[in-house]
Chain A
Amino acid sequence: MLHTFVAYVEDRPGVLTRVASLFRRLNINIISLTVGRSERAGLSRMTVVCDASAEAGNRIRASLFKLENVVDVDDIAQAPAVTRELALIKVAATKHTRSAIFELVEVFRARIVDLTAESLMIEMTGVESKIEGLIQVLNESDSQILEICRSGKMTMRRGHHTSRVLRALGTAAEESDAPAIESAEAALEEGASIEPE
């Protein structure tokens, strides 16, 4: 099954290797991995999607925590979360064939971000299946896809599960200058709204 882990890691050289190497060592294929700065100074946020047995989740999370540079690990599993992927798709198109693609882009709520005489570039953000859908429709039409660049999944739990709460729970790295939260419950109430997708 697919597992999705969100990890906060120290933003310094070699940390990505350590995380990637762990999956390699466990003989688990990483399906996608995104890394970028997080809301916490000096910490990067990773979303790792991998294919492993259902029981493996706990062990992967435990093993990630064993890496010295990993500060927090969340196993998103089946929890309510927002997942998005960004795709850039370059399609061969002339002024005669453009309009059909414009229509598709409209339907998929994507955007055209570059246009030349022979090609155009589509930017699309959405869940994986939506992006797959656009690619499939493009393939089935007469349009020729020239390039696809996909970011891989980014995931964030809905509602209360934020690093601020983790901090209040005492599980995150200490950040003394951050506003103190009285208790975990208070924080849970504060951010407990669940937005339907």
Chain B
Amino acid sequence: MNTNANTQASNAHLTTPTRLTGAEILWATLVGEGVTEVFGYPGGAILPVYDALRKFPIRHILVRHEQGAAHMADGYARASGKVGVAIATSGPGATNLVTGIANAMLDSIPMVCITGQVSSKVLGTDAFQEVDITGITLPVTKHNFLVTHPEDIASAVRQAFQIAKSGRPGPVLVDITKDAQQASALFDFAAAKPQPYRPHPMLHVGDSDVAQAAELIRNAKRPVILAGHGVIQSNAMEPLRTLAERAQIPVALTLLGLGAFPASHSLNLGMMGMHGEAWVNHAIQEADLLIACGMRFDDRVIGTAATYATKAKKIHIEVDPAEINKNIKVDIALIGDLTEVLEQLLPRIPGREGSGWLKALDAIKGGCAVRDIKNLPDSGHLYAAHVMHDLWRITGGNAVVATDVGQHQMWEAQYFHHEHPRSLITSGGLGTMGFALPAAIGAKVACPEKEVWVIAGDGGFQMTSPELSTIAQEHLKVNIAIINNGFLGMVRQWQEFFYDRNYESTPMVSPDFVKLAEAHGIPGLTVRSRAEVEAAVNAARSASGAFLLNFMVEKEDSVYPMIPAGSALHEMIRRPGKNPLVERADDE
């Protein structure tokens, strides 16, 4: 394996046109695009590519299932901001990528997937392991290519990178026939440079719109900033913070926006939406101005459109024109790169006094704002919230956390406070169970110096648990926390609330996760009480390699508050009775 190779020296051969095979052209183009790591799985139709790998300074991480490769490339991209690359063979290899591609599409993650394809001579004949992957992935990619000639590989791949990272980022797939990999062509990296990126023709930030937006902001009595994933993608953390601080506007975050604004900041309200804190959603419903920054008014965030923030004027700053007025009708749309728009807006925003509204919000919060486990009676019984809180406290909030999908994902969002962008890696749009483990592997490969944690439920973890072998083979220091409640917890919660507690097919028997980890050469511990958490987390952190913690938590705990799908944002279900991890009873 060629790791840490000096890419500059190895780029030298890119400057002069050379005759190479299609497979070599692919790798050389990837090197030219700055790729140093790829995630993949070989197979018949991609073999020429794998055969040529040893000549190039690229580290290949062998996955155990192609879905893992796509999620790893995705996690790699989320952690680093670079384009992630996944490679698979034709047929089942390619179809196994699809979930991961759709996941990246829904969360706008820059990713390039390379698939092998049967020879162009037999395309369309139902050849062995032939599948129309460009057809299959058409609705879940930003764009895709079928390449049948070696001379087209470099330009297709270079275009793929440009498309993946430009505008609103997203996944791009390049399907390369085996004969195109085998045949030779003249490789000229520079000549394969794509046309300059054409910004979406409907981007529009009108001067008068900016002026109007500024005026709305200046005059607002109860403004709220809604910050989403776009803040991180556009690297707009600083201008966003300037806007919030200068105009004294509180900031509510989407799930994918967590980390875009420091959790400890006094203006940070917290996460909005279905499992957002009560006061955040109340603030949105009471607001007279919403400034939406790089978010798309997802249905998990708005409750219902008709009842959403009816008192508020809405300013939408967004890079994708197709998102404007899609779910929520807005008053002013500033369609462009968030950083650029904020920089245009900021000079028109004078310092502003916001204390009245902020005080009112503090009053709404009441004691509930101190949703701190320290204030809660500790019976010794283990709740998932304990685990999240302790992980946050012990890691100082500095870890990169990859979460799966379900209850633990929401508890993580509620109790692990993210100070920095790219510190939470989670599947928001598609809600893909099995995402956490491979995504964490991708994050660790991208950022080897960072502490990386997987937080997954017992259900989701089993969807991609074979990637434990990948961790072992690649000697990756990834810490794994399984929140084990013996149920598909979030589905069970919906059954409890909306299906008369008919727990159909949600109780789940799992393997002994510690033994499973040990079978992969990864040590582990099972944690059953609150008192054991700290020592266990420290054991995992101080272990030289990967470590698995199996947290046996309360089985029938639910995530509160919760806005039932189709209800208004203020119609939330609150935690009933005297459960030990309540929001306070007087929080009304």
A interface residues, Cβ below 8 angstroms from B: 14, 17-18, 21, 25, 55, 58-59, 61-63, 65-68, 72-73, 171
Contacts and interface: CB of A to CB of B under 8 A. Distances in A.
A17 B139 CA distance: 10
Contacts of A55: 325, 329
Interface in B141-167: 142-143, 146, 163
Which 4 residue pairs spanning A and B have beta carbons closest together? A62-B322, A62-B321, A68-B143, A63-B322
Interface in B190-223: 200-202
B576 interface: no
A58 B202 CA distance: 10
10 contacts: A14-B134, A21-B138, A58-B321, A58-B324, A62-B320, A62-B322, A65-B321, A67-B143, A73-B201, A171-B201
A58 B335 CA distance: 13
Nearest to A172: B201
Contacts of A66: 142, 200, 320, 322
Interface string B38-56: 0000000000000000000
A18 B202 CA distance: 20
B135 interface: yes
A62 to B, nearest CB: 4
A67 B202 CA distance: 13
Contact of A61 (B138, B139, B146, B202): B202
B318 to A, nearest CB: 11
Given A17-B135, A18-B138, A65 B326 contact: no
Contact of A65 (B142, B200, B324): B200
Given A17-B138, A18-B138, A62-B200, 15 more contacts: A14-B134, A25-B139, A55-B325, A55-B329, A58-B325, A59-B322, A59-B326, A61-B202, A62-B202, A62-B321, A62-B322, A65-B202, A66-B322, A68-B163, A73-B201
Contacts of B134: 14
A83 B201 CA distance: 25
Contacts of B142: 66, 68
B194 to A, nearest CB: 11
B138 A62 contact: no
Given A68-B163, A171-B201, A62 B139 contact: no
B197 to A, nearest CB: 11
A62 B324 contact: yes
Contacts of B138: 17-18, 21
A58 B324 CA distance: 9
A63 B321 CA distance: 8
Interface of B: 134-135, 138-139, 142-143, 146, 163, 200-202, 320-322, 324-326, 329
Nearest to A22: B139
A72 B200 CA distance: 10
Contacts of B322: 59, 62-63, 66
Contacts of A61: 202
Contacts of B146: 14
A68 B326 CA distance: 21
A66 B202 CA distance: 10
A72 to B, nearest CB: 8
Contacts of A68: 142-143, 163
B325 A59 contact: yes
B368 to A, nearest CB: 38
Q: Considering residues B138, B202, B321, B322, which has the most beta carbons from chain A within 10 angstroms of its beta carbon?
A: B322
B325 A65 contact: no
Contacts of B325: 55, 58-59
A21 B202 contact: no
A72 B326 CA distance: 22
A58 B321 CA distance: 8
A129 to B, nearest CB: 32
A63 B322 CA distance: 6
A66 B329 CA distance: 21
B163 A21 contact: no
B203 to A, nearest CB: 10
Contacts of B329: 55
Contacts of A65: 200-202, 321
Nearest to A66: B322
A67 B170 CA distance: 12
A68 B139 CA distance: 13
A194 B224 CA distance: 49
A33 B201 CA distance: 23
B209 to A, nearest CB: 15
Nearest to A70: B201
Nearest to A67: B143
Nearest to B140: A25
A25 B143 CA distance: 15
A63 B325 CA distance: 13
B335 to A, nearest CB: 9
A171 B201 CA distance: 7
Contacts of A63: 322
A185 to B, nearest CB: 20
A58 B326 CA distance: 9
A18 B138 CA distance: 7
B407 to A, nearest CB: 31
A69 to B, nearest CB: 8
A27 to B, nearest CB: 12
Contacts of B202: 61-62, 65
A66 B201 CA distance: 9
A16 to B, nearest CB: 12
A65 B324 CA distance: 14
B333 to A, nearest CB: 10
Contacts of A18: 138
Nearest to B326: A59
Nearest to A13: B146
B123 to A, nearest CB: 11
A113 B142 CA distance: 46
Given A59-B322, A62-B322, A66-B322, A21 B139 contact: yes
Contacts of B326: 59
Contacts of A73: 201
A57 B138 CA distance: 22
Contacts of B139: 21, 25
B360 to A, nearest CB: 34
Contacts of B135: 17
Contacts of B200: 62, 65-66
